[in-house]
Chains A and B, each alone.
Chain A
Amino acid sequence: MPTPDQLNATFVALADPTRRAILARLLEGDASVAELAQPFAMSQPAISKHLKMLERAGLISRGRDAQRRPCRIEGAPLAAARDWLDRYRKAWEGNYQRLDALLDDLQPDPPAGRQ
């Protein structure tokens, strides 16, 4: 089970578009810092800083190969964050589906083109 601190670290790490893009790239396979830096207008040290945050949040791990230290995505923290968000989303989606039905009841003629 993830602790709230871990969950928080995951959300903080995910709150940045560059870090999300890095994770998206790593979904395609492991990559070195140089490979990760390539698509961004960013220096390798700047990318390394993002990688450190992702590593602290447990979202990635770094290989032992001293020269490349390839980055690899780790699934468990993302899955925990997703579970938590799913619960939140379900509760509100339930509310809003009831609101959909209520709005339907309140309108004698639903607007044309409604699904």
Chain B
Amino acid sequence: MPELQLFTPNDRELVMTRSFAAPMELVFACHTRPELVRRWLLGPPGWTMPLCEIDARVGGAYRFRWRGPDGETMSASGVHREVVAPERLVFTQLFDEDWTGGETLITVTLRDMAGHTELTQTTLFASAEARKAALDTGMTEGMESSFQQLDALLATEGEITRER
């Protein structure tokens, strides 16, 4: 099972890495073709993506709208800054609800690892305060950190807390 890793290299960024058992071209297409994106970029269980429009060219816009199990909606949009198939995608992102403290810049890079694809997604927040604002919402996307070492540390820490 490929494990999702989360990192905070500094106070403005959040980095995620994950590997996929598919060639880069396919993973890239799943990030740029609306009919594919709407099948996986859904967030918590029960959410769907009724609106997914993507113009995957430099300067091209995209717009997403999600619908939750109780009919609540959430929307995000942005503009593509770099589109280098099949390895690099850079786009801005702003939620209508703006829980990220302003626009974020998201960079998705893909790397071929012996037939698998390693994905790295970096979210750059407007400022350290903006990342904190994203934290304040406690929402699902766009936030903070964990670290490989910390995973082990936190797992052990949980045991210690229980022992006390």
Contacts and interface: CB of A to CB of B under 8 A. Distances in A.
Interface of A: 4, 7-8, 11-12, 14-15, 17, 20, 23-24, 27, 73, 75-76, 78-79, 81-82, 84-85, 87-96, 98-104, 106-107, 110-111, 114-115
Interface of B: 1, 4, 6, 8, 10-11, 16, 18, 20-22, 26-27, 30, 36, 39-45, 115-116, 132, 135-136, 138, 140-141, 143-147, 149-150, 153-154, 156-158, 160-161, 164
A102 to B, nearest CB: 5
A98 B136 contact: no
23 contacts: A4-B136, A7-B135, A11-B135, A11-B145, A20-B153, A27-B153, A27-B157, A75-B164, A76-B161, A79-B158, A79-B161, A82-B157, A85-B6, A87-B138, A91-B43, A92-B141, A94-B43, A98-B39, A101-B40, A102-B39, A103-B22, A103-B26, A107-B26
Closest 9 CB pairs of A and B: A75-B161, A91-B140, A98-B40, A103-B22, A99-B40, A4-B136, A85-B146, A82-B154, A114-B21
A14 B21 contact: no
A96 B18 contact: yes
Contacts, number: 123
Contacts of A24: 149, 153
Contact of B44 (A76, A82, A94, A103): A94
B146 A20 contact: no
B163 to A, nearest CB: 10
B158 A15 contact: no
Nearest to A101: B40
Nearest to B163: A75
B144 A73 contact: no
Contacts of B10: 15
Given A91-B43, A102-B40, A15 B11 contact: yes
B149 A98 contact: no
A7 to B, nearest CB: 6
Contact of B27 (A23, A75, A88, A103): A103
B96 to A, nearest CB: 18
A81 B18 CA distance: 21
A75 B164 CA distance: 10
Contacts of A100: 20-21
Nearest to B9: A15
